[in-house]
Structure 1
Amino acid sequence: MASSSSSSSSPAARCFTLTLFLLFTCSLAAPLRYQPSPSQLKLDSAKIAAKGQAERMIRSLNLFPKHEANVVFNDQSARDEPRISEKKISLNVSGGPGGGNGPSIKQFGHYAGYYSLPTTKAAKMFYFFFESRVNNSNAPVVIWLTGGPGCASELALFYENGPFQIRDDMSLQWNDYGWDQASNILYVDQPTGTGFSYTTDDSDIRHNETGVSNDLYSFLQEFFKGHSKYANNDFYITGESYAGHYIPALASRIYKGNKNNEGIHINLKGFAIGNGLTDPGIQYKAYPEYALAAKLITKADHDSITSNLVPPCQSAISACDSAGDDGCTEALSTCQEIFSSIMSIAGSINYYDIRKQCEGSLCYDFSRMEQFLGDDNVKSALGVKDIDFVSCSSVVHNAMMGDWMVDYETGIPTLLENGIKVLIYAGEYDLICNWMGNSNWVNAMKWSGQQKFQGASTVPFMAGNTKSGELKSYGPLAFLKVYNAGHMVPMDQPKAALQMLQGWMQGKI
């Protein structure tokens, strides 16, 4: 999230962060003898702007991490052989939001741990694992990936779909609509440097989805070795925002690993992306379309932006693949003008939920999470020792700048053709990763079922007796527009989000 009142704010840096998501890193000034080219000056300017935007976005969530990334230099244990170090945790939890005493925490297996990543110099990945509250031995295993890039999974855990939520008095209460009601669920702090994940060598910070997906695949291999009773259970990947990049990359990595018999077979059944950034070429072009339909801009504004700003964005994105990281970073700088122009007209709206206004720089208040996870007793219970929690990392954010404008839709057709289920869902009031842009790329995706998907009827999505969205599906592909929700669907519509997950995994969506 970010301050919504600034007309110069970066669009990509805004969306694709949250779920929050976002972050930073700026190199030191070059020696005076070095004369940068105009294109290099533009790239340096884009990186500086992204750093500032990331920091503003973090403040808009009312977050104040002590560090820009978790890189520490006093922990020799980070150089252990690759393995998982896990402990069962027992936090004090009371009744749920609906009242009552709630279940006993002793009934369930709740774990926190570190995994020493084998393909790094000294990185350790932190995770939570919560066994399902219902039939955990047979329930699917779900992994949740928060976006950013660079925001911690605890944002979703405590404010969206985790087993419990943080009260104002810093106590925990059961979440009546936690996704552990339907699955055994993993929350992972990634990429390295995010949340409680850390390294002693800053060369371990990732710059692209190859590194990110390899780390996650390696973690899952070790996780299922340690939790072998779940190794044959159905497995699903979920997440939102910049996870629109992470998720297809991880799904493709698992598919490749399974096909090549690389290790433990992971029983991948599907993946779900919520309000994600997946195909920037199509999604950026949809900004003026959505803004006009939402009455954030006029028809004249729409026509001007579409004529003057969309074509250079499209050209820059087309050149991204052949130009490498610098070309993709330049494309980000070019395309962000579309979003900035819309925001300069729309004013202080919360671009994650256009029904709301940001008050000054504050668009959401997630500060209880930092306070809770900064408590020494909580850190001791989690086994994180003296590691400080980095809610959102500007260093991770900046390191991934060359990855933002890459199209990750391209790997999805192969997965669909091999029976992997795909659910793309989006809250109707999110501007930054809006439902129109997501619907457009899903419909444009070329696969054997494309025409039948395009011609499929849109039907109501019901949460209980309430019409909660519009659903379109064919075969393994489904698109869901969720009513009365912004960027964070499980936070805004928790009952509908849980029913969505359950219905989709059961083949009812």
Structure 2
Amino acid sequence: MSGLDEPLRLSGYFKLNRTYDAHMFYFFFEAASEKRHEEPLAVWMTGGPGCSSELAVFYENGPFRINDDLTLDANEFGWDQTHNMIFVDQPINTGFSYSEDERDRVFDEKVVAADMLDFLKEFRAAHPSYFDAPLFITGESYAGHYVPSVTFGIYEYNKVAKDPFNLEGFAIGNGLTNPAIQYGSYADFSFANGLISKNMQSTLNALYPICKFGINACNTLGWDIVCDIALIFCQDTIVAPIQAEGFNVYDIRKPCIGPLCYDFSLLDRYLAQDKVREELGVGDRPWQSCSPDVYNDFLGDIMRNYEDKVSAQLEAGIKVLIYVGTEDWICNWMGNKAWVTSLAWSQREAFDSAEEQDWHFEGSVVGTVKSAGPLSFLKVFQAGHMVPMDKPAEALDMIASFTHPQSNRSTSASPKLKPSVLRLEKLRASHLLVQ
């Protein structure tokens, strides 16, 4: 175990014992604070579907930043400043996670939830002390599907388990959760931001009821072929005409560079180094920022609605934070606000009547927040799809305030935590595989 001046850093694999050959890759970063074992445990899942959480580790809320010469600097706003952080490559065959058995391929959220529950059991068996603190599940984008599914799986497990997890809440950033509602926001958001004309807005809004009918049929019937047809129709008639205008769908202020609209080539080069692969314990296993194979396996899942799992957990008192960068188009704030407002739960009227409050950070208004009971909806100004990348200090303040309410802790209200000076060589894959 590292001393207080050097938090524990781990990377490696856990084999999922309920599977045939699935090996899930993770990074673990112990909190940099003095009372690290009292800090919440937060799990992060990047979306896609099929995008690696190494994107978050090195570009968003992880403790590293990559320099042009492939050295690493510390990120003073990494969420490990106030949390014990686990970043997971999931579903299987995402990032460095793998299985040599085709039967371990993942096609739906039921398996996502089962695999993640298995992973958390394995991690807890190896590192039990971190699970005494509250557990939070977090993620962005397609994690609007992953997060409510995984937390609902934990919630159901806790009802019967002798060793329940201390699940306290979850956070979703710029997520896709209820497509039937969120697809209805594209035309209005695009027009409001000058991306399309009034005539195109009217045309797309006239087509939306057909799109919504298809998505509802997908969720009512549960047939993948119906979900596929709904996806194709909605993409071709609503999404494609807007995207043809040419802009970065993840940040309407910026140009689209490369297939992901951002230049992540430094990460590709960094993870291709032999010394890095040796330290991470991944050998010559190939790595992709986003797997097209995993994406294709989830085509039947994209149009499914996971709002009901959010409602059930709110009723159980599990805290929920939905946060959205206002400059994102693909999972924009209008669509997210619409589905959050539509949630069927006992405090819906209280949420509807709650006023939006300004969110202040270091003397400036950086967003707005609306809350009732365990539910909060937060808009982050001047941020795109990847809020922790665009607004790292504000994102740390946001998540720390959400996970530390008992002390009202936030980076703006408490002393700055000194970032660790980290090098890859500090990583020790001491649990590369747990059979």
TM-score normalised by length of structure 1: 0.77
2:163 paired with 1:264: yes
The residue that corresponds to 2:295 in the other structure is 397
Q: Residues 43-100 of structure 1, C-alpha deviation per residue, up to 9 Å, x if partnerless?
A: xxxxxxxxxxxxxxxxxxxxxxxxxxxxxxxxxxxxxxxxxxxxx9x9xxxxxxxxxx
The residue that corresponds to 2:17 in the other structure is 118
Equivalent in 124, 140, 145 of residue 240 of structure 1: 140
Structure 1 SS opposite 2:37: coil
Q: Contact 1:129–1:185 at 8 Å: present in 2 too?
A: yes
CA drift of 1:203 comes to 2.2
Letter in structure 1 aligned against 2:165? I
Q: May I ask how many residue pairs the two structures share in their alignment? A: 404
Letter in structure 1 aligned against 2:178? D
Structure 1 SS opposite 2:369: strand
Equivalent in 317, 329, 332 of residue 228 of structure 2: 329
The residue that corresponds to 2:155 in the other structure is 255
CA drift of 1:360 comes to 7.2
The residue that corresponds to 1:409 in the other structure is 307
The residue that corresponds to 1:274 in the other structure is 173
2:352 paired with 1:460: no
Provide the identity percentage. 47
The residue that corresponds to 2:40 in the other structure is 140
Q: Contact 1:143–1:237 at 8 Å: present in 2 too?
A: yes
The residue that corresponds to 1:419 in the other structure is 317
CA drift of 1:415 comes to 0.6
CA drift of 1:361 comes to 5.9
2:218 paired with 1:315: no
2:398 paired with 1:500: yes
Unaligned ranges ≥5, structure 1: 1-87, 91-103
Q: Residues 423-482 of structure 1, C-alpha deviation per residue, up to 9 Å, x if partnerless?
A: 000000000000000000000111000011011011111122121101100110000010
CA drift of 1:228 comes to 1.1
Letter in structure 2 aligned against 1:202? E
Q: Contact 1:144–1:238 at 8 Å: present in 2 too?
A: yes
Structure 2 SS opposite 1:454: helix
Q: Any residues of structure 2 matched to 1:146-161 within 5 Å, and which?
A: 146-161=46-61
Q: Contact 1:461–1:470 at 8 Å: present in 2 too?
A: yes
In the alignment, the residues of structure 2 paired with residue 386 and residue 286 of structure 1 have an alpha-carbon distance, to the nearest angstrom, of 43
Could you tell which deviates more after superposition, 251-260 or 321-330? 321-330
Q: Any residues of structure 2 matched to 1:55-454 within 5 Å, and which?
A: 107-134=6-33, 135-261=35-161, 264-307=163-206, 309-321=207-219, 322-336=221-235, 337-344=237-244, 347-358=245-256, 363-454=261-352
Letter in structure 1 aligned against 2:163? I
Q: Contact 1:221–1:264 at 8 Å: present in 2 too?
A: no
Letter in structure 2 aligned against 1:176? E
Letter in structure 2 aligned against 1:311? P
- Residue 359 to residue 418, structure 1, CA distance change in 2 (3 Å): closer
- Residue 383 to residue 360, structure 1, CA distance change in 2 (3 Å): closer
- Residue 392 to residue 413, structure 1, CA distance change in 2 (3 Å): same
In the alignment, the residues of structure 1 paired with residue 148 and residue 116 of structure 2 have an alpha-carbon distance, to the nearest angstrom, of 12
4+ runs deviating over 3 angstroms: 359-362
Unaligned ranges ≥5, structure 2: 411-435
Letter in structure 2 aligned against 1:187? F
In the alignment, the residues of structure 2 paired with residue 401 and residue 246 of structure 1 have an alpha-carbon distance, to the nearest angstrom, of 14
Letter in structure 2 aligned against 1:199? S
In the alignment, the residues of structure 2 paired with residue 447 and residue 311 of structure 1 have an alpha-carbon distance, to the nearest angstrom, of 25
In the alignment, the residues of structure 1 paired with residue 19 and residue 13 of structure 2 have an alpha-carbon distance, to the nearest angstrom, of 14
Structure 2 SS opposite 1:270: strand
Structure 1 SS opposite 2:58: helix
Q: Contact 2:257–2:263 at 8 Å: present in 1 too?
A: no
The residue that corresponds to 2:373 in the other structure is 475
Could you tell which deviates more after superposition, 288-297 or 137-146? 288-297
Q: Contact 2:10–2:27 at 8 Å: present in 1 too?
A: yes
CA drift of 1:211 comes to 0.5
Q: Contact 1:280–1:406 at 8 Å: present in 2 too?
A: yes
Structure 2 SS opposite 1:276: coil
2:385 paired with 1:487: yes
Letter in structure 2 aligned against 1:119? R
CA drift of 1:105 comes to 10
Letter in structure 2 aligned against 1:112? S
In the alignment, the residues of structure 2 paired with residue 249 and residue 479 of structure 1 have an alpha-carbon distance, to the nearest angstrom, of 19
TM-score normalised by length of structure 2: 0.90
